[in-house]
C-alpha cells in the first residue's frame, strides 16, 4: 500500500488548521503589518520545496508555502471582518 497521498492530505489539513488561527490572532494582536512575515515564510517554503528530494517533505513545504502566501490576503480580509464586527477588535489601553 502507498500512504504518501494520505500523509500529504493529513499534513495539508493540519497546516491549514494552524494557519487559520495564526491569521486571526496575528491580525488581532499585530494588525496587517505582519504580512511580510507570511511573505518570507512563503518564499522560504517555496525554495525548500524546490530543493528537497523527499516527495512528502517537499509537498509539506509547498503546502506550508502557499498557505503562508494565502495568509497574506486573509490578513487583510480578517481586517475587513473585524471592521464589520464579525470578530472582536483589540482594545487599546491608554497609557497614563
Q: Return the pLDDT at 91.
A: 72
pLDDT in tens, the chain (96 residues): 889 999 999 999 999 999 999 999 999 899 899 999 999 999 999 999 999 999 999 999 999 999 999 999 999 998 898 888 888 777 767 665
Q: Return the pLDDT at 4.
A: 92
Q: Is the dihedral of CA 63, 65, 69, 71 positive or negative?
A: positive
Q: Return the pLDDT at 85.
A: 84
Radius of gyration of the chain (CA): 16
Chain center to CA of 79 = 15
What gap in Å lies between CA 44 and CA 59, rounded to an integer? 13
pTM value? Answer: 0.85
CB 27 within 8 Å of CB 78: yes
Amino acid at each position: 500500500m502507498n500512504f504518501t497521498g494520505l500523509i500529504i492530505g493529513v499534513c495539508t489539513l493540519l497546516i491549514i488548521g494552524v494557519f487559520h488561527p495564526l491569521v486571526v490572532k496575528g491580525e488581532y494582536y499585530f494588525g496587517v503589518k505582519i504580512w511580510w512575515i507570511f511573505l518570507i515564510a512563503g518564499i522560504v517554503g517555496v525554495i525548500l520545496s524546490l530543493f528537497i528530494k523527499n516527495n512528502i517533505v517537499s509537498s509539506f513545504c509547498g503546502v506550508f508555502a502557499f498557505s503562508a502566501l494565502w495568509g497574506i490576503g486573509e490578513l487583510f480580509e480578517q481586517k475587513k471582518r473585524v471592521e464589520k464586527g464579525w470578530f472582536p477588535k483589540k482594545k487599546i489601553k491608554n497609557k497614563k
